[in-house]
Structure formats: structure tokens, C-alpha cells
Amino acid sequence: MYPDKHKEIVTSLMEGKFITVEDLSYETIKKNEDFYITFFEKSFGFELIGNQDFYYLVSTDTNENTSRDISIFFSVLCYELDKDGKNFLEELNYSEFHIDEIIEYFKNSSWTDVIKVNKQLNNDENLKRLIGTMAKRNIAVKQGNDRYSFTKAHKLFIDFVKDLIKDDKDETTI
């Protein structure tokens, strides 16, 4: 006998989606965490990772670049929000962004060399597609009228970038 919403949970996680605390499935996973950790490890060789905000799967056998591109997206967006005098963490947690606002930040960014070489960020249509991918993975939520907000899953990418910066600073002090 599987927990409630088992098929929905497995399908969502296998499609690369984050299950956030706002999702009813989150509680099912939380209550059955040991079962799901074992289930994904034995069935697929994937690691289920969770915290107080979300769950997601990790595999060592992947060569996808979308996670990297999402991390770069958040790096550039946070930098531009900060440059604009906004608290980027508050903005990501509590604000909605119109797609045109995001595109403007990227068009006017001082990180043009990084944006130009990244196929998912280098033009308006690709940027829109990446945001659509983030919505499919439950990292962003379309609010209507081309407005998006970000789920708590954005924290994974922000933390990843912070770790990279910290590692880079540690290496330069050696």
C-alpha cells in the first residue's frame, strides 16, 4: 500500500519538479520521508532531498544544464535587483515580476558576456522559455498577465550561488 498521492508525487519529482511546502503532496512526503528516500534510491538510484520549504530529486547520472542556467538566471536577477536598490531576497520571496521587467533587467545588465554565451538567457524568447521551464518545475508560478512569482525552491539556486562565491573567495585567500 502506497501513501496518498504516491503516483502524483513520483511523477512530479521524476519530471524535475520541486514539491514545495504550499503543495498538499509536501505533507505526504514529510510524513513518509523514510519510505520515499528508500523508494527513490532503490527504484531509480536518485537521492530525495528535502527541507522545511521543498523536496526535489538529485541524480549523479545527469548532464542537464538547466540547473546551471537557472542558477545564472538568479545570479543576474539578484545582482540587478540589488543594483536597483532593492532587497533581492524580499523581492524573490514576496513580489511578482512582469516578464518584460525581467527581460529589461537582462538587457541592461552589466553581465552581458555571461548572458550572451548562455543559450537560455541570450535573447527574449529563450529567457521566456527558461522562465516557462521554471514554472513547469515549480520554481516560478505564472500569476497571469505575464506576471510571475517565485516559489521557495528559488532558495536552492541562491544557496548554490552563495556557496560558489564563498568557495571562490576561499580559493583566492589560499
Same domain, yes or no, for 105 and 131? yes
Q: Are 32 and 3 in contact, with CB atoms under 8 Å apart?
A: yes
Is the same domain home to 44 and 92?
A: no
pLDDT of 77-91, one tens digit each? Answer: 999 999 999 999 999
Least Cα distance to 95 among 121, 77, 75, 76 occurs for 77
Let me know if residue 24 belongs to a domain.
yes
Q: Quick one: 103 and 156 in the same domain? A: yes
Amino acid 165: pLDDT: 62
pLDDT score at 100: 97
Given a cut of 70, is residue 174 above it in pLDDT?
no
The boundaries of the domain holding residue 166 are: 66-172
The pTM is what? 0.87
Question: SS3 of 125, please?
Answer: helix
To the nearest 10 degrees (0 to 180), the angle between helices 66-83 and 154-172 is 80
Residue 138 per-residue DSSP state: T
91 vs 174, more confident: 91
Are 124 and 86 found together in one domain?
yes
Domain total in the chain: 2
How far is the C-alpha of 59 from the C-alpha of 46, rounded, in Å? 5
The beta-carbon contacts of 91-95 under 8 Å, at least 24 apart in sequence, are: 92/150, 92/154, 92/158, 93/150, 93/152, 95/149
Q: What string of H, E and C letters represents the secondary structure of 52-107?
A: CCEEEEECCCCCCCHHHHHHHHHHHHHHHHHHCCCCHHHHHHHCCEEHHHHHHHHH
Task: Give the least confident one: 29-33, 49-53, 63-67.
Answer: 63-67
Q: What is the CATH number of the domain that holds 130?
A: 1.10.10
pLDDT 10s digits, 94-147: 999 999 999 999 999 999 999 999 999 999 999 999 999 999 999 999 998 999
